[in-house]
Amino acid sequence: MLLTILYIIGITAEAMTGAISAGKRKMDWFGVMFVASVAAIGGGTARDIILGHYPVGWIKHPEYIMITCGAGVLTTLIAPWVARNQRLFVTLDSIGLIVFSIIGCRVAMDMHLPAFICVIAAIVTGIFGGLLRDLVCRQKPLVLHKELYASVALFAASLYLALLWYGVEDDLAVIVTLMASFSLRIVALKLAWSLPVFYFEKEKIAQKKSIKGKS
């Protein structure tokens, strides 16, 4: 029950941030609802397709896509309020990321898949919606370029599986995972933690070779 409530909060927040991205690209209401839904439930859809888990979540629970479409349209009416309360949505997004990760892990566990695949399913569920949103809106995928985002999904899934492995009761494992992963996400944001960045620029290498050749 707790996960379901947090999941609905998470997809609502993701849908509203997706709608803002659509608004920046001057999309019509259909575009807004599409991007909002992609951002909110795209990760779970991708996970289900990859794992062969059918029916996919929003087909089994059509109320979820109704919530995301409704949240998208609502955002068009209260966009200034959404923009002013960015911190609130960062908080809700962080909770959503962790909840999506736990749910993705659970789906793979219910299919009796190896722990490694459960972790991958968690990461796909957690980050793929935001990745698809950014691709549809033709903007740099933030989950791959800054902040600890996919890493938090990895941490959440690993911690959740470890707690279950050591015999911790499921509800307690969920709460501990939520608290620990949320703390990691917020601290990482405040301290601007990020993974090492790989930067390769072919032109500069070619220029260096050219200079060496002339010398």
Looking at residue 208, its pLDDT comes to 57
Alpha carbon 188 to its chain centroid, in Å, reads: 16
Q: Which residue has the higher pLDDT, 6 or 119?
A: 119
Looking at residue 89, its pLDDT comes to 84
Per-residue model confidence as pLDDT tens digits over 164-214? 999 999 999 999 999 999 999 999 888 888 888 777 776 655 555 555 555
- Provide mean pLDDT across the span 46-75: 95
Percentages helix, strand, coil for the chain, rounded to the nearest 5? 80, 0, 20
Q: Give the chain's mean pLDDT.
A: 89
The rounded distance, in Å, linking the Cα atoms of 110 and 186 is 30
Q: Which residue has the higher pLDDT, 144 or 52?
A: 52
Per-residue model confidence as pLDDT tens digits over 79-109? 999 888 888 888 888 888 999 999 999 999 9
Looking at residue 184, its pLDDT comes to 93
Cα-based distances in Å from 99 to 92, 104, 139: 10, 8, 25
Per-residue model confidence as pLDDT tens digits over 13-40? 899 989 999 999 999 999 999 999 999 9
Report how far apart the first and last C-alpha atoms of the chain are (Å, whole number).
71
